[in-house]
Structure 1
Amino acid sequence: MARLSFDGWLPIRVWPVAGQWQVDWCWFADTPLHQPFFREAVEDALRLPFNQAFRRQTPLAALSDWQAQSPGLAPSAFILHASRCGSTLISQMLARLDDHIVVSEPPPLDALLRSDLPAGERRAAICGLLSAYGQRRRGIEQRLVIKLDAWSIGEWPLLQACFPDTPWLFLYRDPVEIAVSHLRRPGMHMVPGMLGDCVLEDGLPFVGREDFIARRLGRLLEAGVVHCRDSAGALVNYSELPDAMAGRLARFFKLTAEQRQQVWLAAAQHAKQPAQAFVADGEAKRREASPLLRARLQACACAPYAALEKMRGV
């Protein structure tokens, strides 16, 4: 095998071209991924003159080849979530630690998880992708934490088969608060036709946004119940944050006493807009919920939420 060199490069896109999957790489040098989402880190990196002048594309097999030549850190934890429930807060708290690599909702991982690649090829590509993200670009990194997209709970069995020893957690929240957040500003999985095939599809007609969001949220929470029950995911309710990062989540992520103090500095910031202060909005969202929305959530999402709470032990 010819010697490859992807030092300082990270995969930013994977996609099929005439049936052949390709990888688009971007040069990050030793810059840490401190933005709330991976796509924002990519946008910043693409503004560099080097990346405007030079791009690198390879076949998908380059991911496995690079892993064989330069194995990166294996994932130390996966963060799965029901959306709008504190996962970005946790990832931003961990991103303050110099020895942590935190990759938040990378589109290439979602593309591979939901691809139609043969099973063996797909698993090899996923392992190679996360090995690329786990490269010690600064030489001090010790842990790799991956936060997935909300709908990736549907592909959890595949990811767990790739990394059976990696612990994971599932964050969730009062369905009313999640649903109101999506009514205000919908995520792509809460817009009809935007996401494509995933675990949230039920193939049935819907009547209005409240119905669509409630049904999708219900299926998302149901998937959380099934996979937490079957593969021992740690359950975390939004109501526990940020205090849990000083307690049981600090133990989950194996943080030292000094690291617990470091991550706490991010607790007062708005997770998705770090320049702004955090303001609790749960009560306002509950007041905003219409009777129609509450009725649809009662029919679709409240039972799996109650099941998650029972599993959590409350």
Structure 2
Amino acid sequence: MERLNLEGWLPIRIWQPAGEWQVDWCWFGDTPLHQPFFRDAVEAALRLPFNQAFRRQTPLAVLGDWQAQSPGLAPSAFIFHASRCGSTLISQMLAQLANHIVISEPPPLDALLRSGLPAVERCAAIKGLVSAYGQRRLGTEQRLVIKLDAWNITELPLLRECFPDTPWLFVYRDPLEIAVSHIRRPGMHMVPGMIGASGLDDELPFDSREDFIARRLGRLLASGLAQCQAFGGVAVNYSELPGAMAGRLAGFFGLDDVQREQVFAAVGRHAKQPSSVFVGDCDEKRREASTLLHERVERWARGPYEALVAKSCIDSTDAIASRLTPTVDLQ
């Protein structure tokens, strides 16, 4: 195999311009990815004079070649979420750690998960992509955490085919609070047709923005619940944050005592806008919700939310029990 020279480069787009899948790469050098979202890091990197002068594009198969030549870290955890519910806070807390690579909602992974590629080819490409993100560009990296887009919870079985042993969690929040956030500023998946076909689609007509958002949210929460039950995911309620990062999530992410303190350097700032101070808005959102939104959320999303709350209680109890159970030496 010809020696590749992709050190310092990361995939930023995977697309199919003329029947053949291509990968666009961007040079990051040893710059850490500290921004709330991968796309923010890409925008910053593309402003570098080098990236304005030089671009690199390769066939999709190069991902597998690069993985064979220079395998990156295997993923240590995946973060799924219901959107606007604290997953960015978790990823930003982990990004404070020098030994963590945190990739937040990378569009290339979404593109592969929802592509029409044959299963074997798709899995090989996903493994190659994740390996590229897991390259040790600083030399201190030991763990790779990837946060996916909210709608990718429906593609979890495909990701599990590639990484069956990687632990994952599903972060969620009271659906009325999530819905109000999307009424204010809708995410891509809360605008009809914006993200194309996805597992959140249904065949029912909708009569208002409130109806569409509540229905999509209900399907999202129901998918999170079903996947947790089927594949052993950990359900995490927004109300547990950020404290859970010093408790059961510290164990989930394998943080030592020093790291449990370091991650809280991100607390107090707005996770999506680090230059701003975070201000809780649960009560404000509840007051702002219209009667129609209340009714639609209760109809479509309240049931799966309550079931997730019950699962979170079980997960939390199990985590406490595991810490209290003494280790028995059988030798």
The alignment's TM-score, normalised by the length of structure 2, stands at 0.94
Once the two structures are TM-superposed, the CA of residue 289 in structure 1 deviates from its matched residue by 0.8
| Alpha-carbon distance in structure 1 between the residues aligned to 2:45 and 2:18 | 28
Secondary structure at the aligned position of 2:279 is classed as: coil
1:5 Cα deviation after fit: 1.4
Return the offset for 1:202. Answer: 0.2
Q: Distance in 1 between matches of 2:264 and 2:106?
A: 25
Question: What letter is aligned with 2:177?
Answer: E
What whole-Å deviation, never above 9, does each CA across 1:140-182 have from its counterpart, x for those lacking one? 1000000000000010000011001110000000000000000
Distance (whole Å) between structure 1 residues aligned to residue 122 and residue 12 of structure 2 = 17
One-letter code of the match for 1:37? F
Distance 1:35 1:257 in 2: 25
Q: Which one-letter code corresponds to 1:31 in the other structure?
A: T
**Structure 2 residues without counterparts, runs of 5 or longer:** 315-331
Match of 2:148 in 1: 148
CA distance in 2, matches of 1:43, 1:313: 40
1:264 equivalent to 2:270? Answer no
Letter in 1 for 2:48: L
Give percent identity, aligned residues only: 72
What TM-score results when the alignment is normalised by the length of structure 1? Answer: 0.99
Distance in structure 1 (CA, Å) of the matches to 2:161 and 2:303:
29
Paired with 1:70 and 1:15, the residues of 2 have a C-alpha distance of 23
Q: Which whole-Å CA distance do the structure 1 matches of 2:139 and 2:193 have between them? A: 43
SS state of the match for residue 17, structure 1? Answer: coil
CA displacement at 1:192 relative to structure 2: 1.0
3-state DSSP of counterpart to 2:164: coil
Q: Deviations over 1:217-257 (max 9, x none)?
A: 00000101110001110110000000101111111101111
Matches within 5 A, 1:299-310: 299-310=299-310
SS of corresponding position for 1:196: coil
Corresponding residue number in structure 2 for 1:102: 102
Q: Which residue of 1 aligns with 2:319?
A: none
Could you say what secondary structure the match of 1:251 adopts?
Answer: helix
Counterpart-to-counterpart distance in 2, 1:203 and 1:99: 45
Partner residue, 1:274: 274
Work out whether 1:22 is the aligned partner of 2:34.
Answer: no
Displacement after TM superposition at 1:15 (Å): 0.2
Letter in 2 for 1:105: E
Distance apart, 1:307 and its partner CA: 1.0
Q: Can you give the 5+ residue segments of structure 1 that lack an aligned partner in the other structure?
A: none
TM-superposed CA distance for 1:61, in Å, is 0.2
Offset at 1:203?
2.2
Name the SS of the counterpart of 2:178 in structure 1. Answer: helix
Which whole-Å CA distance do the structure 2 matches of 1:92 and 1:120 have between them?
33
- RMSD between superposed Cα atoms in Å: 0.7
Q: Alpha-carbon deviation of 1:17?
A: 2.1
Does 2:66 align with 1:71? no
- Give 2:32's aligned residue: 32
Alignment match, 1:91: 91
Aligned to 2:172: 172
* Cα distance in 2 for residues equivalent to 1:141 and 1:48: 24
Equivalents in 2 of 1:212, 1:69: separation in Å?
Answer: 47
CA positional deviation for 1:18: 1.8
SS of equivalent to 1:124: helix
User: What letter corresponds to residue 91 of structure 2 in structure 1?
Assistant: S
Pair 1:126-2:126 in alignment:
yes
